[in-house]
Structure 1
Amino acid sequence: MITASSEHTWKQISDELKSAVGPSLFDVWLAPLKLTRLDGNQLTLEAPAASRAWVTDRFGQILKSSAQSIIGADAEVHVSAAGQDPRQSVASTESHFAAEAGSELNPKYCFEQFVIGNGNRFAHGAALAVAENPGTAYNPLFICGPPGVGKTHLLHSIADYARRHGNGVRVHLTGAEAFANEFISSLRGGDINAFKARHRNADLVLVDDVQFLMAKAKTEEEFFHTFNSLRESGAQIVLTCDRPPRDLNKLEERLRDRFDSGLVADISAPDLATRVAVLNARAQLDQIEIEDDAVVELIATRVERNLRALEGALIRVVAYASLSGRNINTALAEEVLDGLFPQKPHEPKSVKLSVEEIRAVVGEHYEVSVTELCSSSRVASVLWPRQVAMYLARDHSGASLATIAASFGGRNHTTALSACKRVEQRISEDAEQANQLRQLGDQLFKTSANTRGDRS
């Protein structure tokens, strides 16, 4: 029996909870709790069946500390589900998750397999924060970037994390195109209420490729109401798109505004270091042995912007080697890649320059001696030519980064990798420098051809 004294105590605890979590979170998750029993230091509460596991996991410690501040240090809090045995409620919500999203998850798309680089570090951090604390920050989270840079990987990683650590969080993972197709089917089939229940009764909703909502007036309208319903219920929303919200010109302004109201995290095309790391991670995951680092560097150099294409190129090289009975080396990799990812026009594969030749030409161009290029000097007049020489050696010599680095005063692989990365960044931002490097690349082959002609 609930006494007036018990009700008063529960009100005091509720006030503590509201002060601890804030009014918005309290109204969504804790206000629905009902006092069912207060026996000495034992407080028993009832939560809606759908949110019991979520409330226990997310707010269990806060519930306990708030109760202890009013009842005493030995207070204990028990949360049961309305109309359910408390021991069954967690199991039922976990199976609900499996029915909604488990079959759609790609097991390779998890945070552990995501390779972090300069272009995706911010988006990865935001995705992990949302996975750990859904609904409390970055809502909605809008991840954007060109195709093949890891947006879907992050989306699945959030769902995977919730599946493993969410203790019953209801997750709904879908794509915008699937949403549109389901919506049309539900209108024709007369089961629109079932459609709404599928997409709105969740704690964490993840929608891939929202650009496919554009120019679909009725679907946009339904998604707008779905979005609002989820926000009002306190659900976390995560969206991916191939462009920022402001560039979704054919989408209704009210939807663009809502997409832009949270955190927009963009992912750029992967740099060389990230592409190499992705290939090494994929090789390790698939237990592929590649003894020559130059093979990985060759693939990463040829495939510059799309991670799916990058991994596809690796699989193609490995498959070709297996079917032909040949070893995986740079010659085989070039043979496989030439059809799909040909070399740049100024990189004729029949001519490979030595690191020494490149070093000499670059030194002459910048009026820096080879001795200075190989020295420990880091003055700008020496550092930039050294980085350019390493960058050109990577593109034109066929030597591994370890060999290139060793040719510049015994430096290590990471130094050469860093040099290439710095040059790539600078020429992407400075058109004049990019043009100078193209001209220098052409000069390398002219000088090499003249030298070879003189020797003959």
Structure 2
Amino acid sequence: MFVNESVSDRVDDLSGNESGITESQISENLETIWQKICAGLRRDLGAQIFGQWIKPIKLSVFDSDTGLLQLELPSEFSAAWVRDRYAERLLLAWKVHHPAIKDIVFQAPSGAAKIAQISHANSAGKQSEYKIASESKFRLDLDPRMTFDQFIAGNSNVLALNAAQRTAATEKPLFSPLYLQSSTGQGKTHLMHAIGHAFREEFPSATIIYMSAERFMIEFVSAMRRNEGMEFKASLREADLLMIDDIQFIVGKNSTQEEFLHTVDSLISQGKRVVVAADRPPQALDGVDQRLLSRLSMGLVADIQSAGLELRRDILKHRLATMPHQQVSEEVVDFLARTISRNLRELEGGLNKLLAYAQLTGREISRELAEEQLSDILSACRRRITIDEIQRTVCEYYRLDRNEMSSKRRARAVARPRQVAMYLAKVMTPRSYPEIGRKFGGRDHSTVIHAVKLVEHLRGEDSEMDNDVRMLLRQLES
């Protein structure tokens, strides 16, 4: 039964009247919409990801009273995986095509198998299996998109990337544990997943455990309550590669810290590999046992700095290169890279939302559309840069007296930097053209419009001018 019981009853009641609504017509309409949505997702995600995660989705039940649509997947694991990564995108697509749909849920059919296997072949063709569902003591959930090939390197993350690759390599690493440190959304979790993928490629029969510190604590406490503490400890110590994310959340828990300390000691003494990640260096962890602090600091602490403008731009271009049918101008890429600067997760999420909206509505991707649809992200990310700050930075860069920003001099050596400052004021602040003009010696708004258009044109024609503007943007953003 595709339509819910209340709708079905009404269909029966209406049979023979002028409405002519049937269950099959409702189902066919939703099936047609679903095929349209799938066609777009196949183009965006690529055939492999689409075939693995989206294609198996089946329409289940639609409740017209609540606007709730249920989507069915083959297993609980796949339902959770799709929910975590594509729920917002799928809901937006359904709402565009069928406004009556208010929400969607993902579920596995009753009685579906909760145990899945991933088969993986090494270079010699030998098969090895990894349990990823509830029968395993610690299921291994690695995002297939988070590999080394998909990690974009830059000055801010090259040390962490090289250390991660060495940790996953065939030869024994020079350091253990590897401690990855960065603020939220800068790529440390991506590197941990990439280590897991690469290590499994090199050692198909290896035991890999990856979990958050929160899950580690929950599993430990649950095992102790069931009087299965010894089994829990033995399972951890069987790992060939142990990775614990967000280690900062393990602090303050004495018994958990004690167990984690003994586990790390045991694995390191056996030559096993340990990777941990946190949002701060080991010395800044509050309430951590000094012995555990010593172990975490004894390997390599690899810091991932905030991504700079060029790296953010490279990440967007890499993402777009996988979708050649999507036309996004250099101006839009530059705008997103400059304004969404807090973390890379927000950056990619903003791009995905923009692409999905443009595809589903048929609107052209422009800077105006980006400002309209990403207003919540942009407002949170924008640092409040003032026109005075812009003028001061431009004068220092071009070695001009600050008074030249308001002077009447028209010599090119003065006028051009002034025009650049006007351009930056329009790009980096919410000020209107008249407001900007008043800050530049009471100039008319038409003068500011001319300056902005001129600099935009020169950036496309003159590499030196483009380089100057990029350097100034970088200075102001930092």
TM-score range, shorter chain: 0.5 to 0.7
Match of 1:129 among 166, 170, 187: 166
Distance 1:124 1:279, change over 3 A: same
Q: How far does the alpha carbon of each residue in 1:102-154 deviate from its partner, in whole angstroms, 9 at most, with x for none?
A: 84000111111111122111111111121115643121110101111000000
* Corresponding position of 2:268: 231
1:304 matched residue in structure 2: 341
Give the fraction of aligned pairs with identical amino acids, expressed as a percent: 30
Separation of aligned partners in 2, 1:101 and 1:417: 48
Paired residue secondary structure (1:239): strand
Q: Residue 269 in 1 paired to residue 302 in 2?
A: no
Q: Looking at secondary structure, tell me which structure has more helix per residue.
A: 1
**Counterpart in the other structure of 1:258:** 295
Q: Are residues 312 and 234 of structure 1, via their aligned partners in 2, closer, same or farther at CA, if it must alter by over 3 Å?
A: same
In structure 2, the partner of 1:405 is 459
- 2:377 match: secondary structure: coil
Task: Look up the equivalent residue of 1:171 and give its one-letter code.
Answer: I
Distance 1:233 1:345, change over 3 A: closer
CA distance in 2, matches of 1:219, 1:144: 21
The TM-score normalised by the length of structure 1 is 0.60
Structure 1 residue 321: Cα displacement: 1.9
* Counterpart mapping for 1:25-424 below 5 A: 94-96=128-130, 103-133=140-170, 135-285=172-322, 289-342=326-379, 345=384, 365=402, 371=412, 395=428, 403=457, 405-406=459-460, 409-411=462-464, 416-417=469-470, 420-421=473-474, 423-424=475-476
Give the number of equivalent residue pairs: 322
RMSD between aligned residues: 4.1
Distance 1:400 1:111 in 2: 42
Checking the alignment, whether the CA contact within 8 Å between 1:143 and 1:267 is kept in structure 2 is: yes
| Counterpart contact for 1:140–1:236, Cα < 8 Å | yes
Which is worse superposed, 389-398 or 200-209? 389-398
Partner of 2:206: helix, strand, or coil?
Answer: coil
8 A Cα contact 2:423 2:452, kept in partner:
no
Query: Displacement of 1:413 after TM fit?
Result: 5.7
Q: In 2, Cα distance between the equivalents of 1:221 and 1:273? A: 43
The whole-number CA distance in structure 1 between the counterparts of 2:452 and 2:317 is 19
Q: Which sections of structure 2, spanning at least 5 residues, go unmatched?
A: 1-121, 430-450
SS at match of 1:228: helix
Answer yes or no: is the 8 Å Cα contact 2:147–2:193 preserved in 1. Answer: yes
Separation in structure 2 between the aligned mates of residue 398 and residue 283 of structure 1, nearest angstrom: 28
Instruction: Specify the structure having the higher radius of gyration (Cα).
Output: 1
SS at match of 1:95: strand
CA contact (8 A) 1:143 1:151 kept: yes
CA distance in 1 between partners of 2:456 and 2:396 (Å): 15
Distance 1:406 1:322, change over 3 A: closer
8 A contact 1:139–1:263 mirrored in 2:
yes
Aligned equivalents of 2:317, 2:191: Cα separation in 1: 19
Select between 301-310 and 167-176 the one with higher mean Cα deviation: 167-176
Query: 2:178 touches 2:301 (CA, 8 Å); kept in 1?
Result: yes
Give, in whole Å, the separation in 1 of the partners of 2:175 and 2:298: 9
The whole-number CA distance in structure 1 between the counterparts of 2:419 and 2:156 is 25
Q: CA deviation at 1:281?
A: 2.1
Q: Which segment drifts farther, 119-128 or 143-152?
A: 119-128
Cα distance, 1:416 vs structure 2: 5.0
Q: In 1, are the aligned partners of 2:213 and 2:247 still within 8 Å (CA)?
A: yes
Do the aligned partners of 2:459 and 2:465 also contact (CA within 8 Å) in 1? yes
Classify 1:332/1:171 alpha carbon distance in 2 versus 1 (closer, same or farther; 3 Å): same
Amino acid in the other structure paired with 1:395: M
Q: CA separation in 1, counterparts of 2:453 and 2:280?
A: 37
Contact 1:149 1:269 in 2 (8 A): yes
Which stretches in structure 1 are left out of the alignment for 5+ residues?
1-87, 376-381, 429-456
- Going from structure 1 to structure 2, the CA distance change for 1:332 and 1:176 (only over 3 Å counts) comes to same
Specify the SS of the correspondent of 1:276. Answer: helix
The structural deviation recorded for 1:246 is 0.1
| Structure-2 separation of matches of 1:190 and 1:398 | 71
Relative to structure 1, is the Cα distance of residues 299 and 191 closer, same or farther in structure 2, using a 3 angstrom cutoff? same
Letter of the structure 2 residue corresponding to residue 95 of structure 1: E
State TM-score, norm by structure 2.
Answer: 0.58
Secondary structure at the aligned position of 1:164 is classed as helix
Distance 1:311 1:255, change over 3 A: same
1:410–1:271 distance in 2 versus 1, CA, 3 Å: closer
Cα pair distance change 1:234/1:153, threshold 3 Å: same
2: CA distance, partners of 1:259 / 1:387: 49
**Alpha-carbon separation, structure 1, partners of 2:222 and 2:251:** 18
Which whole-Å CA distance do the structure 2 matches of 1:175 and 1:107 have between them?
18
